[in-house]
Structure 1
Amino acid sequence: MGNAAASLPDGARDRLLELARARGVSLASLSDFLGRNPSYLQQFIRKGSPRRLEERDRRKLAAFFGVAEDELGKAPEMSYALPHEEEGPGAWVVVPRLDLGASAGPGVVPGGEAAFDTFRFSRRWLAEQGLAGAQLSAITVAGDSMEPLLNDGDEILVDRTPRPLRDGIHVVRLGDALLVKRVAQAGAGRLALLSQNLAYPPIEVAADDLTIIGRVVWKGGRI
């Protein structure tokens, strides 16, 4: 019998192997990058199991290698149709995931704000949340100072639309550090940066020393 993987109609396996060799990365390390067991991609390429990469894995690998997702396989045909209002163009809003983290701890120096991936949100859902037309981006929380509200590794949706400051959870820049904190007024020209975790004391700063990047309006993370 021939190789099961070779009988599949697309060249996703060959292309993935070619990209890995060109970059000089092992299949095991790529599997670890995806949060999978070390033999996951080896089995995908050599044994045809799974038959297709999951959309999340395909998107993440495509972003890593800088190629189009369809080079690594096509999504299976769905056996049902989405409701009509979600089918047409403009039904989804693409939100960039930025390659930086907002520290919920002592602070981190951000890297370049380069999108490495995207989320898709229903335009109708965003409107229901009062976020129609908002300037949105997604970044990762680092640290534990906002626990239990925000955990290390959570992804947060940040509304960067310019508007007057009101008390709430914001991503801010203080010097070279990017932080996620509850921001509250602390008197004339002063702001307080408050942590949810009471082990971290409040930080009071001059408003002119702080840049408000955006308000945190949604979070997602593993349970």
Structure 2
Amino acid sequence: MDKALEILLQNLTNLIGEGKRFENESVFARACGIPQRTINRIRRREQDLTVEKLGQLAHGIGVTVSALFVPGMNETDEDFAMLRRLNVKASAGNGNLVFFESERGRLAFRRDFLRTAGVKEDEAVVIYADGQSMEPTIPDGAVLLVDTARTELANNDVYVIRLDSEILVKRLRKEIGGGVLIVSDNPDKHKYPDILVSPDKEDHLSIIGRVFWMGARL
């Protein structure tokens, strides 16, 4: 944890100060909803970091909790893309009857990270996993980054899909002779069975995008 804490504190140093994204600790504290004295104590290593405090820090900066521990968070906004956060939970369980259209704000991700992943920022969206069918790969409540340009099935990748009126996050596999197997990573196949979509039913399945990054609460 010492190394992770060092990275987090350095990121705060990059972000707070004259000419940086947050002019001073007071401005940063208001953005996070945390008292300034607490921010000061965190930076001086006098305050324990709870899951709740990490969530507040991430919310104030506009990133995921995982991003707090990525080295090199820049003090300028130019290096960050503000990605759409959609008001939908892609089911990693038994299916959600939802729409995939309502935006609920934006989250910041580094542009160089998106470039390395080969994803255009206007084609990336943020959603959340709901359920346990993709565990241990994707925990319940995980943040998912989805490349909506990748709608062609690449065997064994994880996708957000629409099956009839349900939104799911699942692994897809091409079947020999046609058809698509919708796979849950959870080994409990009695509770989370895989689904075979036969060739004559493939029009019931559409790919919304490929999941290319996952972040979960610490």
TM class by shorter-chain length? 0.5 to 0.7
Alpha-carbon shift at residue 97 of structure 1 (Å): 1.1
Deviation for aligned residue 1:222: 1.2
TM-score, L = length of structure 1? 0.61
When Rg is computed on C-alpha atoms for both structures, the one with the higher figure is 1
Q: Deviations over 1:38-70 (max 9, x none)?
A: xxx7x96xxx8768995545589xxxxxxxxxx
- In structure 2, the CA distance between the partners of 1:106 and 1:126, relative to structure 1 (3 Å rule), is same
Structure 1: distance between partners of 2:217 and 2:153: 30
The alpha-carbon distance between structure 1 residues 57 and 121, as it changes in their structure 2 partners (threshold 3 A), is closer
Structure 1: state its 5+ residue gaps: 1-8, 14-33, 35-40, 61-80
Question: How many residues get paired?
Answer: 161
* Higher relative contact order, structure no. (Cα contacts within 8 Å, ≥ 6 residues apart): 2
Is the contact made by 1:102 and 1:180 (CA closer than 8 Å) also made in structure 2?
yes
Q: Deviations over 1:132-174 (max 9, x none)?
A: 4561001000000000000100010000015532121000011
SS at match of 1:144: coil
Tell me, which stretches of 5 or more residues in structure 2 are unaligned? 1-25, 41-52, 63-71
Partner residue of 1:161? 149
Does structure 2 retain, via aligned residues, the 8 Å contact 1:136–1:159?
yes
Alignment of structure 1 residues 14-29 onto 2, 5 Å: none
Overall identity of the aligned pairs, in %: 32
Q: Is the contact between residue 189 and residue 208 of structure 1 (CA under 8 Å) also seen in structure 2?
A: no
Query: What is the CA distance between 1:188 and its match in structure 2?
Result: 4.6
- The corresponding residue for 1:146 is 134
Q: Which moved more, 1:121-130 or 1:92-101?
A: 121-130
Give the corresponding residue for 1:108.
96
Q: Which residue of 2 aligns with 1:202?
A: 194
| TM-score for both structures, normalised by structure 2 | 0.62
Residue 110 (structure 2) aligns with: 122
- Partner in structure 2 of residue 175 of structure 1: 164
CA RMSD of aligned residues (A): 3.4
The answer to whether the aligner puts 1:185 opposite 2:180 as a matched pair is: no
The equivalent residue for 1:220 is: 215
1:131 aligns with 2:111: no
Q: 1:112 Cα deviation (Å)?
A: 5.6
Q: Output the CA distance in 2 between the equivalents of 1:98 and 1:181.
A: 18
Change (3 A) 1:132 1:50: same
The residue type equivalent to 2:167 in the other structure is L
What displacement does 1:115 show?
1.8
Structure with greater helix percent? 2
**CA separation in 2, counterparts of 1:153 and 1:173?**
19
CA spacing shift, 1:106–1:188, aligned 2, 3 Å = same
